[in-house]
Amino acid sequence: MNDISQAFAKAIQLITQLDANLLEIVSLSMRVSLTSVLIASLIGLPLGAALALYKFPGRGFFVVLLNAFMGLPPVVVGLIVYLMLSRSGPLGVLGLLFTPTAMIIAQTCLITPIIAALARQTIMDANVEYHEQLRALGAKSFRIMKTLLWETKYSLLTSVFAGFGRATAEVGAVLIVGGNINHATRVMTTAIALETRKGDIELALALGIILIVISLILTTIVMNIRDAAYKYYN
Amino acid sequence: MNRISTIVIAVLICMSFNSACANEQDFITLSSTTSTDNSGLLDYLIPKFKEKTGINVRVVAVGTGRALLLGERGDVDLLLVHHKTSETKFVENGFGIERRNVMYNDYVIVGPKQDPANIKNVKNTIEALKLIYDQATPFVSRGDDSGTHKKELELWSQAGVDIQQYSGTWYREAGASMGATLNIANEMSAYTLTDRGTWLSFKNRDDLILLFENDPPLFNQYGVILVNPERHPHIKYNEAKLFSNWLTSSEGQQAIAEFSLQGQQLFFPNSGQNIAASEAK
């Protein structure tokens, strides 16, 4: 227990001093994860909705694939993205390896299936409820998709959160494609892994506490906005 | 329409945010080993080099095995690694050029302070390993194809022990970096081979102490190699060469000698032989 209380003290010390290194790492973490979540949502939400509403050959297989990919191991995603972006890989000419962009690509691959699979379920359930009504009003499939996405926005927010949680928590993918380079690609999770390796358990745990607190604050803000919006619309 | 424009604006904001933090242009990427990075040596050297040349050095710290692979694939501009046999092969295969000695340090054997295999007073490394083998006391190996791992395997083979056959019993392959391996050795009360730099900078020691040191087979040479620009034309050869030159220059060598941790010098510059060789030409 002593270790943990020391870590708390260290965490508070780091926060109150506004440690420049810490700020840099935190802001890169947020920048990478938020951008990934945004891109993954733009792809995943319509994809999930389309899979819920449109019938096409191979849909069943695609849905199984999507659900299985929710559990993609970050290290494997990291390796595949590494092989793509490596100078000897097909996209090597872009020179993206060991940059935040590479980390965003890896995290987007990792969380798009999560957001899409959860969105598909949400939209499917909503469709059961509203389908007759929407058809009766003469709505076309695309119109139904848009309506359902809008009507389930609060539930879909939870899918987006699941994706964000995965993005901020994973270390395997960003370590491989980012390289944990100080002042360039070091984020919270890779810094925690590094300090653990160096045997500085106290600092590692302090960084972990800060990461959790940031997630809590962000979640609280979004939940409050959601509740306010809910009250406003109803 | 409102929603769509909101999304578009959000994307634009995010993208401008990302490009605002655009990468600086003048930098080279070095793949180095965890021992040089975790000890703080590179954090000490790089600002000095940057001040002189304006070039920043980005460090990807991995094991020697992976560092060489990054070089082979052209993902880094130069390497600072420590396993001469692999380095020579790397150059012979045409992946790298201009290998130079930079510095050396040494390996030590650490273990639980009770020292169950009683290696504290042996005369040489081989004898120490034989005692650990005889007693079958836990030994944690890096098991990650790093320079330290390669070295350890060579030492076991010199001791005449076919170590692979004991893997999973008293011989544990961690598949981890040096620091993580020391964490495991600490928890398991096990012996392990570590470079002195990582050991001195390692903070989670508890009962782990240094038990055996100062034996010629534990010598650890570091070399710098430039990635072959003929194989990978995008490599920043000129900038990388400046860093290689600086590391081996009297200024760089002096900086290496000055770096110390807890009052101990960690790395000993020895590029002298390179300079003598190039002057002879």
Query: Is domain B106-218 classified as CATH 3.40.190.10?
Result: yes
Q: What is the pLDDT of residue B209?
A: 92
Q: DSSP letter string over B180-247?
A: HHHHHHHHHT-BEEEEHHHHHH----TTEEEEE---GGGEEEEEEEEE-TTT-TTS-HHHHHHHHHHH
Name the nearest CA neighbour of B62 among B172, B164, B142: B142
Cβ–Cβ < 8 Å for B192, B111: yes
A98 three-state secondary structure: coil
pLDDT at B15 over 80: no
B80 three-state secondary structure: strand
A143 to chain B, any CB pair closer than 8 A? The answer is no
Cβ–Cβ < 8 Å for B95, B228: yes
ipTM for the complex? 0.79
A64 to chain B, any CB pair closer than 8 A? The answer is no
- List B57's β-bridge partners, or say none: B28
The pTM for the full model equals: 0.84
B218-242 pLDDT, tens digit per residue, is 999 999 999 999 999 888 999 999 9
Per-residue CA distances from B21 to A84, A164, A184, B18, B166 (Å): 24, 21, 10, 5, 51
Q: What is the pLDDT of residue B280?
A: 39
Q: What is the pLDDT of residue A1?
A: 61
A108 to chain B, any CB pair closer than 8 A? The answer is no
**Confidence tier at B20 by pLDDT (50, 70, 90):** very low
Residue A151, domain CATH: 1.10.3720.10
Distance in Å, alpha carbon of B195 to nearest chain A alpha carbon: 13
Alpha helix positions (H), chain B: 2-20, 34-38, 41-53, 64-72, 84-92, 125-135, 147-158, 178-188, 196-201, 237-248, 250-258, 272-280
Please state, in angstroms and rounded to a whole number, the distance separating the CA atoms of residues A38 and A101. 14
Per-residue CA distances from B15 to A23, A29, A152, B110, B116 (Å): 20, 15, 27, 50, 59
Give Rg (Cα) of chain B. Answer: 22
B179 and A42 within 8 Å at the Cβ level: the answer is no
B202 and A198 within 8 Å at the Cβ level: the answer is yes
Q: What is the pLDDT of residue B110?
A: 94
pLDDT at B18 over 60: no
Using CA coordinates, name the residue in chain B closest to A104. Answer: B18
In a domain, A113, yes or no: yes
Which regions of chain A are under pLDDT 70? 1
In a domain, A212, yes or no: no
A64-92 pLDDT, tens digit per residue, is 999 999 999 999 999 999 999 998 899 98
pLDDT at B188 over 80: yes
Name the nearest CA neighbour of B190 among B239, B257, B141, B145: B141
Q: What is the pLDDT of residue B85?
A: 87
Q: What is the pLDDT of residue A63?
A: 93
A88 and B60 within 8 Å at the Cβ level: the answer is no
A182 to chain B, any CB pair closer than 8 A? The answer is yes
Cβ neighbours of A180 in B, within 8 Å: 60-61
A21 to chain B, any CB pair closer than 8 A? The answer is no
B58-63 mean pLDDT: 90
**Confidence tier at B126 by pLDDT (50, 70, 90):** very high
B14 and A201 within 8 Å at the Cβ level: the answer is no
Q: What is the pLDDT of residue A110?
A: 96
Residue A134 domain boundaries: 21-189
Cβ–Cβ < 8 Å for A77, A110: yes
**Residue B120 main-chain phi, psi, to 5 deg:** -55, -40
Domain boundaries, chain B: 25-105+220-280, 106-218
Cβ–Cβ < 8 Å for A24, A182: no
Structural domains counted in chain A? 1
Please state, in angstroms and rounded to a whole number, the distance separating the CA atoms of residues B277 and B101. 11
**Whole-number average pLDDT of chain B:** 86
In a domain, A229, yes or no: no
Mutating which of B18, B110, B140, B148 best tests the A interface, going by the most A Cβ atoms within 10 A?
Answer: B18
Q: Which CATH architecture has domain B25-105+220-280?
A: 3-Layer(aba) Sandwich (3.40)
Domains B25-105+220-280 and B106-218 are alike in CATH topology: yes
Mutating which of B4, B16, B73, B192 best tests the A interface, going by the most A Cβ atoms within 10 A?
Answer: B73
In a domain, A15, yes or no: no
